[in-house]
Structure 1
Amino acid sequence: CNLNCFFCHNEGQVNPRQPPGNDISKVPVPMQAPDTMDALPVSTPARDMIGEYPADVRFEYLRSVIEAYYELGGLSVNLTGGEPLLYNRLFELLDGIRKPEGRRLYLNSNVRSAQRLLKRPVHPKIDCIYASLHTLNEETHTRHLGLGSAAQIRRNILALRDHGYAILLNFSLGPHNADDFTEVLRFAAEHGLDLKVIALIRHDTSAQFYRGDWVDPVVLQSALVANQARLESRTAALGGLKEFYRLPRSKVIVKNIALGRMHTAFCDGCSARASCGEGIYGLRTGVDAVWKPCLLRKDAYAIDPEMERVLRLGRDGENETRTPEFDRAALRKQILKHIAAMVGPPAERLFIRGAPL
């Protein structure tokens, strides 16, 4: 990634193949956003995690998993990272995905490398860019996000919107940027951009994770009202209760886990239950081929056996000269297995309230 956000939960997803206790600490990256991951330092945590898998295998795994999920009737996929715009083969991946009508594909990005999108026509597979805008304050940006500038990100967001992409602003709320929310809200209102607010999602139970106390999104209500945001509806949803506000030209979604997040049988006996900052939400995987049902449940991470099968073929010399092929039925089975474990029996699903400890 070409930012260094202290709260990034994706970089907190430790690869279980690494030795226990191995610290995935972040490393400095160039101030100018590189075009691809090749321009990053030789060794970064993300690159070390994927080094065991040949590039073609990683690529085909991503494409195959996305298509397998769509084949099951899955409605939406989020491409995230790290920073997806640094993925060398991003556009090849997008071009190659068979995306049925009515399915959605979202790109989660900090948009520092927006030029990769701006120098070509709008890609038809990208339904919306979830653009991270955690502050417009340069001091906050430098101290807590580390690289580049808030002004650059703001310019890139508007350029992508003007280029033709649908944009949803993402604001991750914490003690470091709670005072910056009003400025971000006004930016969204001024430019007719939709905005989504979530509290920081912890990936560990460290007392220092939030860099202060957890911030309840209810503190934003006065700013919303003062800026003509009108509450239209509330709905219980995976990842936290959602409140939908209407601005004159756009909308604001506030997701608040303190008002309700889903726990299921999957959560029974979890030592981090009281610290949970997300609840049952989404099934994650990536170029590491590790299924991650919950960020706090490292014990539930599982390497996809289909990746292990393909790698064995390669080691045995059976897959050296052709594109690796993943068994779609096997991938669909893995997806259903992990989702079934996450959602559990209906009678044991409940929305719990209260701030994470």
Structure 2
Amino acid sequence: MTLIDIPTPGFPGAGADFARRGGQLRVSFTARCQLGCWFCHNEGEVPPRITHHNRAVQPRPRVMTPGDYLTAINTMTAAGIRRVFFTGGEPLLSPAARPVLEGIPAHRPDEYTTTLITNGLTLTRDLPWLAATTLDRIKVSLHYFSDASIATIAEGKTGDIDKIKAGIEAAIDAIPTVELNLLLQELNAHEVMDIIGYARHLGIGLQIIELVGTDHNAGLGGGKVPSGDIAAHLRSIATDEQVVTSGTGQGRRVFTVPGARGPMTIEVIDASLGRHHTGQCGTCPARSRCVEGFWALRLDSAGTLAPCLLRTDLRLDVTPHTGDPAAFLSAVSAHLDAFTEGTLQ
């Protein structure tokens, strides 16, 4: 096992501290999703599970246009953000998804990368146009390996595991990189080895994530399962293991294991390896239950940008600035500087 601290490139000017920590921009197209997974925190928005149970409780209205999104993304990548993730809810349900993804300009991976995170239910439908975009990666959230487990984890919502698998397998031939992510929990513990085997069979990367507890999922569904036993299994078949403790969020174990296409990577996010915080976290009342630390900027469909999952009171309204890239970058930079210095009010 090798303990490493991987440096991440910085850049001068706005948001330098964020990029130096390996920060990412998470762009949420919609709060809606076909599923209602019990654990979903929806990145600070009302989770679909709650809306499915009570239609009177709705997420904030969508105000961001495709042009607004593209202004934000192009401005922040030009300023040095290296990783852009497109999320939801389920992002492919949003009418903004296609025009935004089709509008991302050609770019080199050393400039920045773009990743779509999806539940995979509509991949077979959407792949023809997705394949024509500059998207670098699709990451499919595969927290189940049977229709029965989908219904259990999504609280009765139906899903088609065969359709999801068909989308994953078709995407391998259409998108430069396809990966899976798996949220480890009691309700899918019996299928984790199946999902690991599936990833190895396809020869695609897998990230295994420990459960993030929030106000939305406390006391619900299946509880948290430590990743130690999974790490021990991977260690028994791995040709290499590295422990990465730099960058943002929690540390992770990176295993190189044999796959159908040769050596492949399985990552295990492990809270026991520590986390990374910044100035605002020093006096944060939510720190005792924070498991991510300084992780990502989240731009949502309601037009707010947040540097933290648990503190929705720290959101910045960017809608007054989406028509002016310079004003947008100035506002975001000032907000981020205050967050990293611990002076954000």
Per-residue CA deviations over 1:103-138 (Å, capped at 9, x if unaligned) read 211101111011333334713411000111112133
Q: Within 1, Cα distance between the matches of 2:252 and 2:313?
A: 29
Could you tell me how far apart the structure 2 residues matched to 1:11 and 1:300 are?
13
Indicate the SS of the match to 1:294. Answer: coil
Aligned match of 1:276? 290
- Select which of 204, 216, 225 maps to 1:193: 204
| Aligned equivalent of 2:230, options 207, 215, 220 | 220
Question: Of the candidates 248, 258, 261, which is equivalent to residue 238 of structure 1?
Answer: 248
1:119 aligns with 128
| Aligned equivalent of 1:136 | 145
Q: Does 1:339 align with 2:307?
A: no
Q: Distance in 1 between matches of 2:106 and 2:298?
A: 19
Q: Which residue of 2 aligns with 1:248?
A: 258
Contact 2:146 2:161 in 1 (8 A): yes
The aligned counterpart of 1:86 is: 93
Match for 2:191 among 170, 175, 180?
Answer: 180
Residue type matched to 1:158 in 2? E
DSSP 3-state at the match of 1:77: strand
Larger RCO of the pair (alpha carbons < 8 Å, separation 6+): 2
**Could you state the TM-score of these two structures normalised by the residue count of structure 2?**
0.78
Structure 1 residue 162, shift from structure 2 partner = 2.9
Q: 1:343 and 1:168 mapped to 2: Cα distance?
A: 31
Q: Distance in 1 between matches of 2:79 and 2:43?
A: 28
Alpha carbons of structure 1 residues 213 and 122: separation in structure 2 relative to 1, 3 Å: closer
User: Structure 1 segments of 4 or more deviating over 4 A?
Assistant: none
Tell me by how many angstroms 1:289 deviates.
0.9
**Alignment check: 8 A CA contact 1:203 1:295 kept:** no
Measure, in 1, the Cα distance between the counterparts of 2:175 and 2:279: 43
Offset of residue 26 of structure 1? 2.5
Residue pair 1:292, 1:302 contacting (<8 A) in 2 also: yes
Contact kept, 8 Å, 2:35 with 2:49, in 1: the verdict is: no
Displacement after TM superposition at 1:186 (Å): 0.5
- For 1:188 and 1:121, the matched residues in 2 are separated by 22
Instruction: Tell me which amino acid in the other structure corresponds to 1:204.
Output: D
C-alpha distance in 1, partners of 2:337/2:218? 31
Structure 2 distance, partners of 1:296, 1:170, is: 22
Residue 289 (structure 1) aligned with residue 303 (structure 2): yes
8 A Cα contact 1:263 1:279, kept in partner: yes
Q: State the SS of the aligned residue for 1:106.
A: strand
8 Å CA contact 1:67–1:99 kept in 2: the answer is no
Q: Give the TM-score, by structure 1 length.
A: 0.76
Aligned alpha-carbon RMSD (Å): 2.6
* SS of equivalent to 1:125: coil
* Residue identity in the other structure for 1:65: A
Structure 1 partner of 2:9: none
Residue 58 of structure 2 corresponds to 45
1:150 alignment counterpart: 161
Q: Contact 1:205 / 1:272 at 8 angstroms: preserved in 2?
A: no
Task: Measure the CA separation in 1 of the matches of 2:306 and 2:158.
Answer: 28
| Aligned residue runs from structure 1 range 196-207, under 5 A | 196-204=207-215, 207=218
Identity %: 27
Cross-structure match for 2:325: 328
Q: Is the 8 A contact 1:59 1:93 kept in 2?
A: yes
More off after superposition, 235-244 vs 91-100:
91-100
Distance, in Å, in 2 between the alignment partners of 1:63 and 1:192 is 33
Query: Residue type matched to 1:270 in 2?
Result: C
**What is the deviation of 1:144?**
0.7
One-letter amino acid of the counterpart of residue 68, structure 2? Y
Q: CA deviation at 1:269?
A: 2.3
Say if 1:186 and 1:292 are closer, same or farther in 2 by CA, change over 3 A: same
Partner Cα distance (2:77, 2:106) in 1: 7
Check whether the contact 1:239–1:255 (CA below 8 A) recurs between aligned residues. Answer: no
Q: 1:280 to 1:166 in 2, by over 3 A?
A: same
- Distance of 1:270 and 1:14 partners within structure 2: 22
Structure 1 residue 265, shift from structure 2 partner: 1.7
Deviation at 1:165, TM superposition (A): 4.3
Structure 1 CA distance for aligned equivalents of residues 334 and 217 of structure 2: 30
Equivalent AA in structure 1 for residue 306 of structure 2 = K
How far apart, CA to CA, are the structure 2 residues paired with 1:121 and 1:303? 30
